[in-house]
Structure 1
Amino acid sequence: MQAKAKKIIFIAVLIVGCIITSLISTNDKEKTLPVSSLLQSAQGAVTSKTAQVKTVRVQVSGAVLEPGIYDVPASCRVEEAIAAAGGMTENADSERVNLVRKVRDGMQIRVPVQKVTRTSRTQRKKAQAKSDLGESALGKSGGAKAGPGRNNSMMQIVRINSASVSELQQLPGIGPALAQRIVKTRNSGRFTSADDLLRVPGIGKAKLAKLRDYVEVD
């Protein structure tokens, strides 16, 4: 009887031990599961952040204020890339650009200039013909001949370091966009001579030669 009792007690102890071991194993699994989920969430956040900061390199050229190469977000559109290049100039033809197209790495975005219509060319020729006819009539009647000297006397001298955008537009060949570029350039460093206008994007030696008699440095 004693041996049988010992056997029963041994079996009971063995069963209790199995139950305790099972409970401990289940508890460990419950503790491990949240840690694994947290790791997966952290990896997903890192991946998402990496995707957000990804950029592509594009070239923006043509009728924009600051042509060049720019790094832009991979998810941006052509409109945003053009904005990074300072926006379009006044003579840009926005109708010929797909502004909502998504950019891609190595893409060249060229903004075309507005085409001069045949009607506009005809009107210019007529206006030029009338001007030439008027100058010819003045010359025959003994009036003053139209020429550079006369134009210089009629145009006011513009001080390029203090003139406003509207005053700069009075200069020959200077439109709103180029006037704004002159102001932007002088804000980064005042002009010390008329030759400093060559620092302005869009002003070359030929245009400077036309401006030289109408500007002064103050």
Structure 2
Amino acid sequence: MQAKSKKLIFIAVLLTGCIITSLISTNDKEKTLLGSSMQSAQGTVTSKATQAKSVRVQVSGAVLEPGIYDLPANCRVEEAIAAAGGLTENADSERVNLVRKVRDGMQIRVPVQKAAWISRTQRKNAQATAGYSASSTKKVGSTRAGAGKNNSAVQRVRINSASVSELQQLPGIGPALAQRIVETRNSGRFTSADDLLRVPGIGKAKLAKLRDYVEVD
């Protein structure tokens, strides 16, 4: 009887051990699955956050450098226009909401002033019927020459000491881009005009337009 009792006790202990081992194994599997799910969810959130850091927009119309630009998320229309070289002389900025936030895939079209558009249309019609005359060619040439003289007379802006408002006097530089110039020089003074390429939103084309208007002090 004692041997039989011992055998029954041994079997009971063995079964209890198997049950406990099975429960521990199941719990470990559940933890592993839960950890994998959490890592996957975190990866998805991180990916979406990375995509939200920048937006791609198309800027067209009365700007100096129309095209497609990648800009920081939550930026404004004025920053997108600044990245496109700024407004042209005949741009109608009153019909553009400059403080509107841009979104990915957005097209920003800057309209031309109505008077300028009418004048340009009339000029095209006149040229189509009568063609270019020698006098009109000379007039255009003299106008361009006069514009060159005016550009040479423009006072240069000292990019290492100019204020945000003074920097906005430069062609194609709006409030947002002027602020970026100040922030960039605070991390390291400009040693030449080429250092303006360090400023986000200023590329080689824009730098070429700024060279005659800036100086390093």
Query: Normalising by the residue count of structure 1, what TM-score does the alignment of the two structures yield?
Result: 0.52
**What corresponds to 1:41 in structure 2?**
30
**What corresponds to 2:110 in structure 1?**
116
Q: Structure 2: which 5+ runs fail to align?
A: 57-69, 82-99, 121-144
**What corresponds to 2:77 in structure 1?**
90
CA RMSD of aligned residues (A): 4.1
Q: Distance in 1 between matches of 2:107 and 2:152?
A: 31
Are the aligned partners of 2:55 and 2:71 in contact in 1 as well (CA < 8 Å)?
Answer: yes
Are the aligned partners of 2:167 and 2:178 in contact in 1 as well (CA < 8 Å)?
Answer: yes
Query: Normalising by the residue count of structure 2, what TM-score does the alignment of the two structures yield?
Result: 0.53
**What corresponds to 1:161 in structure 2?**
160
**What corresponds to 1:17 in structure 2?**
6
**What corresponds to 1:27 in structure 2?**
16
3-state SS of the aligned residue for 1:114?
strand
Q: Distance in 2 between matches of 1:127 and 1:186?
A: 43
Distance change >3 Å, CA 113–CA 189, structure 1 → 2 = farther
Deviation per CA, 1:174-195, whole angstroms, max 9, x where unpaired?
A: 1133323423443443211223
Q: Structure 1: which 5+ runs fail to align?
A: 1-11, 56-71, 100-110, 129-144
Which fold has the larger relative contact order, with Cα–Cα distance below 8 Å and residues 6 or more apart in sequence? Answer: 2
Amino acid at match of 1:122: K
Amino acid at match of 2:18: K
Deviation for aligned residue 1:160: 0.8
Matched-pair identity in %: 44
3-state SS of the aligned residue for 2:160?
coil
Deviation per CA, 1:5-52, whole angstroms, max 9, x where unpaired?
A: xxxxxxx23541343123212331343244213412331243134314
3-state SS of the aligned residue for 1:115?
strand
Q: Distance in 2 between matches of 1:48 and 1:82?
A: 29
3-state SS of the aligned residue for 2:72?
coil
Distance change >3 Å, CA 209–CA 50, structure 1 → 2 = closer
Are the aligned partners of 1:90 and 1:177 in contact in 2 as well (CA < 8 Å)?
Answer: no
Q: Distance in 1 between matches of 2:187 and 2:216?
A: 16
**What corresponds to 1:9 in structure 2?**
none
Q: Distance in 2 between matches of 1:82 and 1:46?
A: 33
